[in-house]
Each structure stands twice: as C-alpha cells, then as structure tokens.
Amino acid sequence: MMDCSEEVQSVSEEPSTQMELKKGMSVFIDILRRADKNDDGKLSFDEFRSYFSDGVLTAEELKELFHTIDTHNTDNLDTDELCEYFSQHLGEYENVLAALEDLNMSILKAMDKTKKDYQESTHLEQFVTRFLLKETTNQLHSLQSSLECAMETTAEQTRQEKQGPLKPEGLSIQWSGRRSNRRLQRNSSLSPNNPLLSLVNSGVYDEDSQWMIQVNRLQKLIDRLEQKEVRLEPVEEEVLESKSHILIVQRQLSVLEEELEEFRLALRQYMDCACAQTGCLHIAVQRLANESRFILYEFWEHNNVWKNHLQTNYSKTFQRGNVDFLETPESITTMLVPASWWVLNNN
C-alpha cells in the first residue's frame, strides 16, 4: 500500500486510459514506477529481475516469466501487460487490492481533513482525533503482522520444497540400550551428503573407533539420566509494570549485490538518526559471512517509542530506499524482555 499523498496524486495524473483500469489494479502503476529505474515508462528485463526476484525463481525462470508477460513482444513491459498477466492470477487478492485502494484514499482524505481542522477543534475533539489515529495505526500494524507471518510461512515452505525430502539410508551401526530403535530411526534419515554417512559406507566408521567409544559413553550417561524422576517445580508469577519491558526488534535484510554500497550508506544514515532518537537504547548490525544479508538489532524503551520511530521521516526514507536495495522484502521480528535484564547486562 502506498504511504504518501504524493504517490497517490501522481497515480491520479496517469493518462485516462490507465484510469480505466479495473478496481484495485492501480497498484501496478505504482509497481512499474518504483521498478522503472531509468524512468522511461517501461521495464527492461534487468529492471524486472531487480524488482521481482524473490530468491526462489532462478534467472532462467524469471526470464521465461518476463517473456510470458511481454505479450507485445517488445522486450519491455508496460502497465497494461502487468495488469493483464496478474489479473488472471489474483484470486482473493483482487478484493484485497481493491480494498487497499479504497483504504489508501480514505486515509489520505482523513489526513487532509485532520490537517485543516485539528487546530480549530476543541480539546476533546483533538483527543478523539489522536485516539483514532493511534487506533488506526494499531489496526494497520496488526494487519502487517499477519501478512509478515504469511510471508515467513510461505518462504519456509518453499525452502523445504526446494531442499526436497531426505532419502532414508539404512545404517549398520548397532546402538546399545533401550532406546536403540529410536536412535537408529533418527540416524537413518541422514542426508546422502552427510560426512558421517560417507564414513559408514566406506567402512572407516566402526564401533572400535575412538569416536564411537565417546558416543557410547554419552549414550550411557543419557540413559542413566532418563531413569531419574524429573520434577518440575512451579515458578512463582512475577508481576511487572506495563513499561517495565524493553522492545527488541530484529530486521533481516537481503541486499542485492549491486546495491551493497548504496545500502550501506543508507543504513549508516538510518542508524545515526535512530541512535539519536529519544527512547533508542542501542542499535547493532551484523552481516552474515559470504552473504549480502544483514541483521539489524534495535533496542527500544517500549513499544510505543518504536511505533513513533516508524513514523519519522528518516525511518520512512530508509524503508522506501529498501524497495530498490533489497532482493526480497525484509523480515521483522519483535520481542519484549524485562527492562531489568537490560540494566543488569549494562552494569
């Protein structure tokens, strides 16, 4: 959903032929504008790949998809071609896009009226306006969380399908103890590429090896522990004040290789501004080795401070820039922890 009045205004200024698009399809006008890096009004394959690549489809599959959408055979995509292709596959999302279009316009109209009338409103009317703004924001965040959960779930399912089921391999190792059947079943699912399995098949791995001796010792220890009765004592409930927690935000960002330098510059500017924000306790960033994936950790005094931070200009600028920099949409995870943990750790 577009988040600024300037973008919606520019949509309304599109030629009249594009204004006749089916309800909800105007989002593809915005998609083309954001994906069109050289502003020539159409998408080359490089621009298409940069925007639509999700880390799952291969370059060949993206190329095939590009030519499928390119019904005009011009080696470029325009809004009509995007709408024609995706309209055949929207399903329930046709209603979602139409609702988002209406919601976007309704919010912009409400913001415009608020800007005009707020100063002249009574004290109680101003309170109601602030309350409705906050509640609208909460509802939108709730929807965003549901969508992010769905994205994570589909991404995980795709990863599992891509890896494929592991082929069971029978092992000749005989485990002693009453849990041998379960251990054998567990180890029979080793991947064919697992180095342990290659050792077994080559005959190097036998029960006389020092490694097997250590494993057997560990097995005996586990068996003895299992024979002991484990008692779990109830933990007393700890009552905490509503603001006695801090919020930890983890953001995972997979960056396009060609955009790394620009992303680093934008990230540094964002971190400098965020660290100066009231209520920001700490920000740290890590890059995974041999990958262009960054993990950003943000620590905030409480949830409302973070929500206010998301509405700042520097935060919105960073989010808009990520549309161009990221290979896939960023993943955000939040967690509340007792504030006393932060105090103890810093002491």
> Which pLDDT does position 169 carry in this prediction?
42
The answer to whether residue 69 scores a pLDDT higher than 90 is yes
Is the model more confident about 224 or about 22?
Answer: 22
- pLDDT reported for residue 220: 66
Domain boundaries, the chain: 20-120, 245-341
**What's the start-to-end Cα distance of the chain, in Å?**
44
Region 76-90: what's the mean pLDDT?
Answer: 88
Report whether pLDDT(103) > 50. yes
pLDDT, tens only, 180-190:
444 434 444 44
Q: What is the pLDDT of residues 118-160, one digit of tens each?
A: 888 898 998 999 999 888 888 888 888 778 777 777 877 777 7
The whole-model pTM stands at: 0.41
Residue 345 pLDDT > 60, yes or no? no
Fold for the domain defined by 20-120: Recoverin; domain 1 (1.10.238)
So what's the pLDDT on residue 198?
A: 44
- Mean of pLDDT over the chain: 75
Mean pLDDT value of segment 257-285:
90
Average pLDDT for 7-22: 47
Residue 279, pLDDT score = 87
Q: Which CATH architecture has domain 245-341?
A: 2-Layer Sandwich (3.30)
